[in-house]
Amino acid sequence: MNRVYILAFLIALLASFLLTPYVKKLAFKIGALDRPNKRKVHHKVMPRLGGLAIYCGFLLSVLCTMHISRDVLGLLLGGTVIMIVGVIDDKYQLPAKVKLLGQILAACVLVLFDIKIEWLNNPWGGYFYLEYFSIPLTIFWVISFTNVVNLIDGLDGLAAGVSAIASITVILVAVQQGVFPVAILTAALAGGIIGFIRYNFNPASIFMGDTGSMFIGYMLAAISIFGAVKSAATIALIVPAVALGLPIMDTAFAILRRYTNGRPIFQPDKGHLHHRLLAMGMSQRQAVLFMYAISATLSVAAVVLTEVDGYFAAVVIAIIVTCVAIGAKKIGILNDR
């Protein structure tokens, strides 16, 4: 059991790597294409749907390496629902409200299988039991993760790389704490992502599309809830949240920026961090690698949080937030232009 997560990683990586060229052909065949416009940085028609290869690699890996218990079945069914929503969106460009309904449906699958946030650790001992707030908090958690990965998917390899770094962080913590079901699930996800990156890094030949970004965000959220149940520790929720701190904070700044400038919150703009880095003169590769470095730093902080007490953890988080606020102000990420 202790080494099965390595096998899970390798199976998913190989499957994703081998399947991506076929998914690319399928994307062209069904018209799941991303056409350039003034907001996007690519200049030619690109196939979307790459997340389907990630999903297939993940599913095959889990089926080969895990006992499919009721809760694992819930994770797979929920992931399948969000994958289907993503495929439809990559083909037809669903309205935001319809896509949100699909995300809520996928989150409800977890609740139906009793995969939900029912309590949080009390820093002074014991637990806070959420009772009636359990289901809405679970749905909010899943939808938030699903969308933050989606919103950072703006440069070749960016969302995939940041998600892979976050996934590897979760694997390390899960192995360290002996929560091997979480390690296996996350290793399958990481393998699928890394197998796909070969085709997605600049210059990309295929995009993961909403099929990939929503599936990855959903699975990281679902696995974190699954881990919190298995380990009886809220740290299972905190680690992926800190490791994904870059897209989470970029999304928060986007919402604040649009609100303060009188724009609809869901209206896309060119104010995201990667847009700012490109405007400062970085190439796509330089901007992506810079954001990888930030994600890696946050991932180290996430691992540190598992080794310290609640008060020191609060100090670490406060330092991270302060550094981010200073950096955001310097590059003008809250400005409309």
The tens digit of pLDDT for each residue in 23-77 reads 999 999 999 998 876 666 656 889 999 999 999 999 999 999 999 999 999 999 9
Residue 123: predicted pLDDT: 60
pTM: 0.92
- Counting residues of the chain whose pLDDT is more than 90, the rounded percentage is 57
pLDDT given for residue 169 in this prediction? 95
For residue 5 the two structure tokens come to: 């997560």
pLDDT in tens, 86-124: 999 999 999 989 999 999 999 999 999 999 998 887 666
Question: What is the reported pLDDT for 75?
Answer: 97
Give pLDDT, residue 133. 92
- With CA atoms as reference, report the closest residue to 268 among 255, 280, 286, 282: 255
Q: What is the pLDDT of residue 256?
A: 82
Spell out the domain ranges in the chain: 4-331
Q: What is the pLDDT of residue 1?
A: 52
CA 325 – CA 191 distance, rounded (Å): 33
pLDDT at position 221: 96
Average pLDDT, the chain: 88
Helix (H, G, I), strand (E, B) or coil at 34: strand
Pairwise CA distance, residues 208 & 150, whole Å: 10
Which letter, b or e, does each residue of 200-219 get, where b requires 16 or more Cβ atoms within 10 Å of its Cβ? bbbebebbbbbbbbbbbbbb
3-state secondary structure of 46: strand
- Greater confidence, 232 or 288? 288
Q: How far is CA 158 from the centre of its chain?
A: 11
pLDDT at residue number 232: 58
Report the amino acid identity of residue 148. Answer: V
- Average pLDDT, stretch 166-182? 92
